[in-house]
Amino acid sequence: MKYNIIRDYIGVGNSRPGEPLGQVRFIVSHDTGNPGSTAYANRNYFENSDPLASAHTFIDDNTILEIIPLNERALHVRSNVPGDNSRYGADANNAAIGVELAYGPGINFEEAYKRYVWYHAYLVDKFNLDPSEDIIAHSTLDPARRTDPQNALNRYGISWSDFIRDVEQTFDRLFQGNEAIPEPVVKGTSVELPLDIGDQGPFVQEVQQSLIRVGFPLPIFGADGIYGEETKRAVMKFQRKYGLTVDGLVGPQTLDKLAEVKGATRPINDFPLPSGILRRGDQGTGVRQLQRALQRIGFDPQLIDGIYGPLTENAVRRFQSKYADLQNDGIYGPNTRRFIEMELSEL
């Protein structure tokens, strides 16, 4: 359980004031509140939209990503809430590290959670903190407006006390002289907006997954993280439908509209799932329901034809491979249905 830390800082601006952080007295735990949005997708949002908000670190199932140096202020808690001052004698933005957990469709929660726990233990060691006293939920500081990170943790059966206990055990096991803390890995510049032909990486894949989820499939290459001609055509179709400049480039306006459309997509009841077992060779309404649901969560079967052929079987296999509890056999049954329903409920 050693993980690399990537430092890929955003530019100084609204999201990164560039001001020094005082003595680190505590950690504020957050979740992104945007299911399916990866660490790098969040980094690119703060870099390009530059809102008056931020956090130091974003964590998903692949990446621990520091976007603001830990010796600088981040704007992750409202300054007018009293809980941080009453508990720690300082405003969170002046004395705390803000850590965000990414979760939801396309993100393996178990892997993201392991990194989230490990990074909290790493900070406890780095700043000589007490896990039971010096880690606080955003929801505790701002209960009128926030529910994180319990919003993410609870849906996977993890309580706040469970999380703190996991951090304590990880700290005791890995940071009490038993294992050396790994050196952070420094990464170069991220993909910048607008996205165009030739761009690659996690942020491109995030855009592709969003396109698929809002009804603009990529049947040949799927969400492969490479901005090719197929992706550009899908972007142009999306832009045309929603009255944007049709140039095939993903800039701030296209990203904002994509997020808006994605947020307004239909609820789980509009994607009913069949009961029983379906496998290659089956046909009918149940197969079509499964195909629509798979497309909705980013595992495009390429054809919504009601025929359980090799493309649908492959889509089911790709979905099953995300979860250790599922057998990767390409057969749709009760267990696979349960996990698909879970992802639909998070959209």
Q: Tens place of pLDDT for every residue, the chain, 347 residues?
A: 579 999 999 999 999 999 999 999 999 999 998 888 899 989 988 988 888 899 999 999 999 999 999 999 999 999 888 889 989 999 999 999 999 999 988 899 989 999 999 999 999 999 999 999 999 999 899 887 888 998 888 778 787 888 998 899 899 888 875 555 444 444 444 556 788 999 887 678 778 888 987 889 888 888 888 999 999 999 999 999 999 999 999 887 887 788 677 655 544 445 678 889 999 999 988 898 898 888 877 787 878 888 999 999 999 998 998 888 889 999 999 989 988 887 776 55
* The residue count for the chain: 347
DSSP for residue 250? B
**The CATH number of the domain covering residues in 267-347:** 1.10.101.10
Q: Please state which CATH class domain 6-186 belongs to.
A: alpha beta
* DSSP annotation of 252: H
Asked if 192-265 and 267-347 have one fold, the answer is yes
Q: What is the CATH number of domain 192-265?
A: 1.10.101.10
Give dist(CA 289, CA 266) in Å, integer.
Answer: 14
Dist. CA 100–CA 48, nearest whole Å = 18
User: 15, 21, 35, 9: which is closest to 149 by C-alpha?
Assistant: 35
Domain boundaries, given as residue ranges, for the chain: 6-186, 192-265, 267-347
Q: Which long-range contacts (CB under 8 A, 24 or more apart) does 126-131 make?
A: 126/70, 126/181, 127/24, 127/97, 129/24, 129/25, 129/26, 129/27, 131/164, 131/167, 131/168, 131/171
